């Protein structure tokens, strides 16, 4: 997911996307623990996507207060 895509989302959509990414991260960690994970790089991609969504959400919240 690119930053431009994330910036286009509303606050509610950002929260939904964050929840979806956290669920995917949990599932990936579970797959890794059980030895079923094939694409290990996806863990890092999801982690970075979570950080990207949180950053954009925080920026939008700060803009709303200012």
By CB atoms closer than 10 A (0-12, 13-18, 19+), residue 43 is middle
Residue 41, H or E segment: helix 41-65
Residues of the chain with pLDDT under 70: none
Burial class of residue 25 in the structure, from the number of CB atoms within 10 Å of its CB (0-12 exposed, 13-18 middle, 19+ buried)? middle
Whether 13 contacts 19, CB under 8 Å = no
The pLDDT of residue 1 is: 81
The number of domains in the chain is 1
Specify the CATH number for the domain of residue 28. 1.10.287.310
Parent domain of 43: 1-62
Model pTM greater than 0.85?
A: yes
The tens digit of pLDDT for each residue in 2-20 reads 899 999 999 999 999 999 9
Element (H, E) at 51: helix 41-65
- Residue 66: per-residue pLDDT: 79
């Amino acid at each position: 997911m690119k930053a431009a895509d994330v910036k286009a989302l509303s606050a509610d959509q950002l929260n939904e996307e964050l929840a979806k990414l956290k669920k995917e991260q949990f599932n990936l960690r579970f797959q890794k623990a059980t030895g079923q994970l094939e694409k290990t790089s996806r863990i890092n991609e999801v982690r970075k996507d979570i950080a990207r969504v949180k950053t954009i959400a925080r920026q939008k919240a700060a803009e709303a207060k200012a």
